[in-house]
Structure 1
Amino acid sequence: MEIGVIHLLDTSVKGNMFQVVSEYGFHVCQLCGWDSELCTPEVAERVVKEAREANVRICAIWAGVPGPAEWNFTEGPVTLGLVPEQYREERIKALKGWADFAAWVGAPAIITHCGFIPENMTDPEYPQVVAAIREVAAYCESKGIGFWFETGQETPIVLLRTIERVGTSNLGINLDPANLVLYGKGNPIDALDTIGSYVRNIHVKDGLYPIDGDRLGEEVRAGAGKVNYPVFIRKLKEIGFTGEYIIEREISGEEQRKDILQTTNDLKLWMQGE
């Protein structure tokens, strides 16, 4: 179980783009890309070269999609992921591009948010969402890589139900326990009873439950929110999880750096059961 960090794919960086990862002392990262124009063999070649030089392994590609993205309860359902029909075609294309990129750089999977997947399985939109996810997942499967859902906008049972209906052999979950809290979708520890066998990576993030019907809860440093990390990690061990713990702190600047360093130390203690 290795500790790493989520890291933005940024070709404007002078020098080695993985230097920041190395400076934290990490040898693994999730590489996060939003600009699908970067999905080229040339960029992939640079990524492979610089990751090797920095001794950093890419444990997955976090794949962003074009178009609007509102991380809230009001516009979120009509802007996020593969759920909104008006953006679906271009987003399927973008995710296939990220699948190509992942294969070129040797990453085992792509990860994305699929959006506010309908809770009601009889919703007429639900089969279309499943079909869209299946198209991307099958393309990933043809490239020999996984398609992993990041938890967030859906409840654990909806995620399980959708995985079962998509039905490809390469499906997994990037479990962000904070997102289950921030969106009010469930308790991350209990969620492992439902989706634990599919968990491949963890986002180490924390948050508070929503207290306003229109807004997400507040993200906070890992250990300062409602995710009980010592218990969460213990249960992950019990179910046989051996993947990466990827630190994500959605702020910037010096406070982000300090929180990542503190979370690294805290994680080591939690993993030892202290």
Structure 2
Amino acid sequence: MDIGVIHLLNVKTEGNMFQVVSDYGLPVCQLCGWDRGSCTPEVAERVVKEAKEANVRICAVWAGVPGPAVWNFTEGPVTLGLVPEQYREERIAALKGWADFAVWIGAPAIITHCGFIPENMTDPEYPKVVEAIREVAEYCESKGIGFWFETGQETPIVLLRTIQRVGTSNLGINLDPANLILYGKGNPIDALDTIGSYVRNIHVKDGLYPTDGDRLGEEVRAGTGKVNFPAFITKLKEIGFTGEYIIEREISGEEQRKDILQTVSDLKLWYGA
């Protein structure tokens, strides 16, 4: 079982930028980048050097895109991912830049949220979203890396349908079980029946279902929300998942550090259960 953590790419970090990962006692991270200006060979060279010095393996690059991003039900559909047409061209270019960066640092894939992909396959916007995703996926494929969807704004069947329509050989899923709950999109254990064969990474995150039509559910420490982690991990084992368990706790400060350390301990128990 490979346990890691999401780690923000910050070129302003003094000293080794992966020291915090090492301080958790973890050998792997998912490197999250939002600043497109960091997609340079010089930054990549530093990343490779410091990751090696810290003995940290980068299992994927989580690729952020420019423009607004509002994580709710009201503004989310018009701001997130490749769905909003007014941001699409710039975001496709940004994702291609992150693909280049992933190649430079030796990461096997990029990951992103594609947005509120239309549920209705006859929506005239749906083929346009599929084509945008395909353009990025084909670019990644040409570079020898994967393009992985992070679950969140779409139901599992919409994600499966879209993967089938995009049709490239390098598609995968970064399954965030909490996001399925936070967005009210599905049960993560049942979702594995639909999309399990595409799962490459797991985000170890937990949450509560939404109780307001305009707001997402609340994110909470893993093991205290609606994700049944022992059952979820058991199902992952049953379908042959061998990828990384990447802890994500979307708070900051000392409480975040304590929760991550607690989750490392809990994961080992759940995995052995």
Corresponding residue of 1:145: 145
Unaligned runs of 5+ in 2: none
Rounded Cα–Cα distance in structure 2 between residues aligned with 1:133 and 1:28: 27
Partner of 1:213: 213
d(CA) in 1 for partners of 2:37 and 2:80? Answer: 20
Q: How many residues align?
A: 273
Residue aligning to 1:108: 108
TM-fit CA distance, 1:174? 0.0
Give 1:35's aligned residue: 35
Aligned mates of 1:211, 1:258 — CA distance in 2: 28
Structure 2 CA distance, aligned partners of 1:189 and 1:225?
14
What amino acid maps onto 2:179 in structure 1? Answer: N
2:232 aligned residue: 232
Q: Which residue of the partner structure matches residue 47 of structure 1? A: 47
Distance 1:8 1:70 in 2: 19
1:196, distance to aligned residue in structure 2 (A) = 0.1
**2:84 maps to which residue?**
84
Please name the residue that 1:222 is paired with: 222
1:134 alignment partner in structure 2: 134
Per-residue Cα deviation, 1:67-100 (whole angstroms, up to 9, x for no partner): 0000000000000000000000000000000000
Matched, 1:264 2:252: no
Write the distance in 2 (CA, Å) between the matches of 1:34 and 1:117: 21
1:6-21 maps to which residues of 2 (within 5 A)?
Answer: 6-21=6-21
Structure 1 partner of 2:190: 190
Cα distance between partner residues in 2 of 1:38 and 1:8 = 12
Per the TM alignment, residue 186 of structure 1 is displaced from its structure 2 partner at its CA by 0.1
Paired letter, 1:37: G
Q: Secondary structure at the match of 1:15?
A: coil
Aligned equivalents of 1:163, 1:268: Cα separation in 2: 32
SS at 1:71's partner residue?
A: coil
Alpha-carbon displacement from aligned partner over 1:231-263 (angstroms, at most 9, x marks no partner): 000000000000000000000000000000000
1:162 aligns with 2:162: yes
Q: Deviations over 1:96-119 (max 9, x none)?
A: 000000000000000000000000
SS in 2 for 1:4: strand
Q: Residue 132 of structure 1: CA displacement?
A: 0.1
TM-score, with structure 2 as normaliser: 1.00
* Structure 1 residue 11, shift from structure 2 partner: 0.5
**Normalization by structure 1: what TM-score?**
0.99
Once residues 226 and 34 of structure 1 are traced to their aligned partners in structure 2, the CA distance between those partners, rounded to angstroms, is 29
CA deviation map 1:217-239 (0-9, x unaligned): 00000000000000000000000
Distance 1:271 1:46 in 2: 34
Q: Is the partner of 2:264 in helix, strand or coil?
A: helix
What is the CA-CA distance between 1:155 and the residue it aligns to?
A: 0.1
**Where has structure 1 moved over 2 Å in runs of 4 or more?**
none
1:68 matched to which residue of 2? 68
Quote the Cα distance in structure 1 between the aligned partners of 2:79 and 2:244. 29
SS of equivalent to 2:227:
coil
Which secondary structure state, in structure 2, belongs to the residue aligned with residue 269 of structure 1?
helix
RMSD: 0.2
Could you list the per-position Cα deviations for residues 132-159 of structure 1 after superposition, in whole angstroms to 9, with x for gaps in the alignment?
A: 0000000000000000000000000000
Shift in Å at residue 23 of structure 1? 0.2
Gapped regions of structure 1 (runs ≥ 5): none
Shift of 1:194: 0.0
Shift of 1:167: 0.2
**Counterpart AA for 2:74:** T
SS at match of 1:147: strand
Secondary structure, in 3 states, of the residue corresponding to 1:245? strand
Structure 2 distance, partners of 1:41, 1:191, is 38
